[in-house]
Amino acid sequence: MAGRAGGRPPAGLTLFIRAIRLDGAPRAGYPFDLPAVRALADGRELRFPTAVTLLSGDNGSGKSTLIEAVAVAAGLNPEGGSESFRFATRSSESSLGEHLTLVRTPGRNPRSGFFLRAESYYNVATEIERLGVTGSYGGVSPHQRSHGESFLDLAAHRFRPGGLYLLDEPEAALSVNGCLALLLRIADLVEAGSQFLIATHSPILLASPGATILEITPEGPIREVPYDQAEPVALTRAFLADPGRFLRHLSL
């Protein structure tokens, strides 16, 4: 894919986080025994070469574990939100964040940051109400918006230029149109100096122009794949080309 945004940062812009590295972490127990984490612990940096990095991989491959660890290492609340969110409804984050090194660009710090976890956004919405900051989220409490509307409010109003945004399956709330709207917002924010790391299964979000797609393989290593070879894209394409063949295979 090629395009105006999502790809190489605009001239003069350096990324906030260029890579992650795992130094001296234990090798046993969750999350250190996950194949993806082991692959990282084997000494290789995982590079984020473009302003948008998309993390793909099957259910249970470790995307949320990795993105949550990046959020923790970046000082964001592990249950979601910005730097100023400190609530914890149920502490279940792994200790990976404490062992993760973010390779930052010296002197370049994000002006804003947000960790969106689709699965716990309800709690973030409650915290937004409690803090009385709905004005920064479009003026209406996320609890009074639909799931998808509240995500799009967040991207439209709370995500700002020059920010670092970590999104875990934002498509969970979004229609196809909603995903397209998010793609457009991401492209505009990248033009304005923001960086995104997004875990996704969505063939639409994976099409973010110029983004890098990192796919966690079943064996663990994380490899860069072109759009057409990303599993959600290839599999969805094959399904849509002949749904009956897949359904027959499943004996449906």
Ligand X SMILES: Nc1ncnc2c1ncn2[C@@H]1O[C@H](COP(=O)(O)OP(=O)(O)OP(=O)(O)O)[C@@H](O)[C@H]1O
Identify which of residues 50 and 56 has a Cβ nearer to ligand X in the complex: 56
How far is the C-alpha of 153 from the C-alpha of 150, rounded, in Å?
5
| Residue 65 in contact with Mg ion, rule: CB under 5 A | no
Task: Return the one option of Mg ion, ligand X, none that residue 30 interacts with (CB less than 5 to 8 A, by type).
Answer: ligand X
Omega within 30 of 0 (cis) for the link into 226: no
Residues ≥6 apart with Cβ < 8 Å to 89? 79, 120, 123
Task: Return the one option of Mg ion, ligand X, none that residue 34 interacts with (CB less than 5 to 8 A, by type).
Answer: ligand X
Stretch binding Mg ion (CB under 5 A), from 9-17, 62-70, 75-83, 229-237: 62-70
Stretch binding Mg ion (CB under 5 A), from 34-42, 59-67, 84-92, 210-218: 59-67
| Residue 64 in contact with Mg ion, rule: CB under 5 A | yes
Instruction: Give the Cβ contact number of residue 37 at 10 Å.
Output: 25
Question: 64 near 93, Cβ under 8 Å?
Answer: no
Stretch binding Mg ion (CB under 5 A), from 39-47, 56-64, 81-89, 128-136: 56-64
Shortest gap between Cβ of 163 and Mg ion (angstroms)?
22
Alpha-helical regions (H) of the chain: 35-41, 63-73, 96-99, 121-131, 147-153, 176-191, 231-241, 243-249
Q: Give the up-direction half-sphere exposure of residue 146: CA atoms within 13 A in the CB hemisphere.
A: 8
Q: Which of 187, 138, 148, 189 is nearest to 170 (CA)?
A: 148
Shortest gap between Cβ of 61 and Mg ion (angstroms)?
9
The token pair that represents 222 in the structure block? 């994380």
How far is the C-alpha of 86 from the C-alpha of 79, rounded, in Å?
9
Shortest gap between Cβ of 8 and ligand X (angstroms)?
27
| Residue 202 in contact with Mg ion, rule: CB under 5 A | no
Identify which of residues 115 and 137 has a Cβ nearer to ligand X in the complex: 115
Footprint on this chain of ligand X (rule: CB under 6 A): 30, 34, 57, 59-65, 92
Task: Return the one option of Mg ion, ligand X, none that residue 61 interacts with (CB less than 5 to 8 A, by type).
Answer: ligand X
Shortest gap between Cβ of 67 and ligand X (angstroms)?
8
Backbone angles phi, psi at 101, to 5 degrees: -105, 125
Identify which of residues 57 and 193 has a Cβ nearer to ligand X in the complex: 57
The token pair that represents 73 in the structure block? 């290492």
Binding site for Mg ion (CB under 5 A): 63-64
